[in-house]
């Protein structure tokens, strides 16, 4: 029998032990080869209903959760607030209660308010997955990032990972800087002073990109989130690229085989040079996308096992 997972929901990284994280990564591994088959059909979630409650726009996260659920045989329904009673003033909790009354078997929640998935989990009768909440966390992104590092570098323990850019507003950084140290990696946070967090959680911080990525094994660039923090960046985007944009020349300061990552969407020519982002020998950006489907299949499978049994 598969190992039981000791958590009902996946809302953040803090509750997960290193064993829990490695278990999810191991569960995701077979789904990568599965996704490369011509026919991608598994029926273990047949008869189960998955609701994707996305209160924010999304390409990678929404589409990969939908693909993941359908490949596992689930009935997948996507909720978009623009065509719902949210436009009429319905609260998040009332929306959650309404949808919960339809008896879904798993919900994925993405919201612009930190803590929203936790609020849904408190009233839901099924497992809830955090698909990204405000500036808080994005746990499945951190899991897929860890899986990508392990597959491309052969390990996570002992790696030095420089997370660069808008740390303060990034839920991706929020989850990665919690997850990676649990697996033995050293995390550095690199960015302009206004975009670094007030509490680095023990990670080393750098305001100079060249210094921050020196000898790093992985350089993870983050999108400049203009919708969240335009007032925090002084000067033009060209100025930002000159100081904090990753280029081939800058990457020479990292380890010789340093891996480049980015959760997407990218601002090409701002936080990263386009040619570098597209270089399959140095960039794992498309690997992250592929591995994201596998991780989300594993999460959906693991969290619904108790219901299926």
Q: What is the pLDDT of residue 88?
A: 56
- Residue 190, pLDDT > 80, answer yes
How far is Cα 196 from Cα 161, in angstroms, rounded to an integer? 16
Instruction: Answer with the residue of higher pLDDT: 232 or 164.
Output: 164
Residue 129: CB atoms within 10 Å: 23
pLDDT, position 234: 56
What domains does the chain contain, in order, with CATH numbers? 18-137+289-308 (3.40.50.1370), 139-284 (3.40.50.1370)
**How far is it, in rounded angstroms, from Cα 290 to Cα 299?**
15
Query: Counting beta carbons within 10 angstroms of the beta carbon of residue 1, is it exposed (0 to 12), middle (13 to 18) or buried (19 or more)?
Result: exposed
| Residue 66 in this model has a pLDDT that exceeds 50 | yes
Please give the backbone phi and psi of residue 59, each rounded to the nearest 5 degrees, phi first. -110, -65
The answer on pLDDT for 2 being more than 70 is no
**All residues at 6 or more sequence positions from 302 whose CB lies less than 8 Å from its CB, including other chains:** 2, 5, 23, 24, 27
| pLDDT at residue number 229 | 45
Q: Mean pLDDT throughout 168-178?
A: 96
For residue 62, which of 111, 26, 8, 13 has the smallest C-alpha distance?
A: 111
Predicted TM-score (pTM) of this structure: 0.95
Q: Is the pLDDT of residue 129 over 60?
A: yes
The helix (H) or strand (E) run that includes residue 261 is: strand 259-261
282, 213 contact by CB (below 8 A): no
Highest mean pLDDT: which range of 58-62, 68-72, 225-229: 68-72
Question: pLDDT tens digits for 231-261?
Answer: 555 567 778 888 999 999 999 999 999 999 9
Q: How confident is the model at residue 213 (pLDDT cuts 50, 70, 90)?
A: very high
CA distance 221 to 246: 8
Closest of 171, 169, 208, 125 to residue 188, by C-alpha: 208
Q: How many CB atoms lie within 10 A of CB 266?
A: 17
Predicted confidence at residue 90, as pLDDT, reads 79
Q: What is the mean pLDDT of the chain?
A: 93
Nearest-Å Rg of the Cα atoms of the chain is 19
3 state SS of 299 = helix
Residue 93 is predicted with a pLDDT of 93
Residue of 294, 297, 273 whose CA lies nearest to 283: 273
């Amino acid at each position: 029998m598969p190992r039981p997972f000791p958590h009902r929901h996946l809302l953040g990284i803090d509750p997960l032990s290193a064993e829990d994280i490695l278990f999810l990564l191991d569960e995701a591994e077979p789904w990568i080869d599965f996704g490369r088959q011509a026919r991608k059909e598994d029926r273990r979630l047949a008869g189960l209903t998955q609701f994707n409650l996305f209160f924010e726009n999304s390409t990678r996260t929404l589409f990969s959760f939908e693909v993941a659920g359908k490949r596992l045989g689930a009935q997948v329904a996507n909720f978009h607030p623009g065509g719902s009673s949210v436009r009429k003033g319905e609260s998040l909790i009332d929306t959650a209660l309404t949808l919960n009354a339809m008896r879904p078997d798993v919900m994925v929640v993405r919201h612009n308010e930190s803590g929203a998935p936790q609020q849904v989990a408190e009233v839901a009768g099924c497992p809830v997955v955090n698909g990204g909440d405000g500036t808080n966390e994005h746990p499945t992104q951190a899991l897929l990032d860890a899986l990508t590092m392990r597959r491309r570098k052969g390990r996570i323990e002992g790696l030095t990972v420089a997370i660069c850019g808008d740390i303060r507003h990034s839920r991706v950084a929020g989850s990665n800087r919690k997850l990676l140290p649990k697996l033995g990696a050293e995390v550095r946070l690199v960015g302009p002073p206004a975009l670094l967090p007030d509490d680095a959680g023990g990670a080393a911080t750098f305001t100079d990109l060249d210094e921050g990525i020196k000898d790093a094994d992985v350089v993870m660039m983050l999108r400049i989130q203009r919708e969240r923090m335009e007032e925090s960046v002084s000067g033009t985007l060209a100025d930002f690229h000159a100081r904090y944009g990753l280029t081939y020349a800058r990457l020479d300061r990292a380890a010789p085989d340093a891996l480049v990552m980015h959760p997407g969407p990218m601002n090409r020519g701002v936080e990263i040079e386009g040619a570098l982002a597209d270089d399959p020998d140095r960039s794992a950006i498309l690997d992250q996308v592929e591995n994201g489907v596998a991780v989300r299949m594993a999460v959906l499978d693991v969290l619904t096992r108790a219901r299926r049994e």
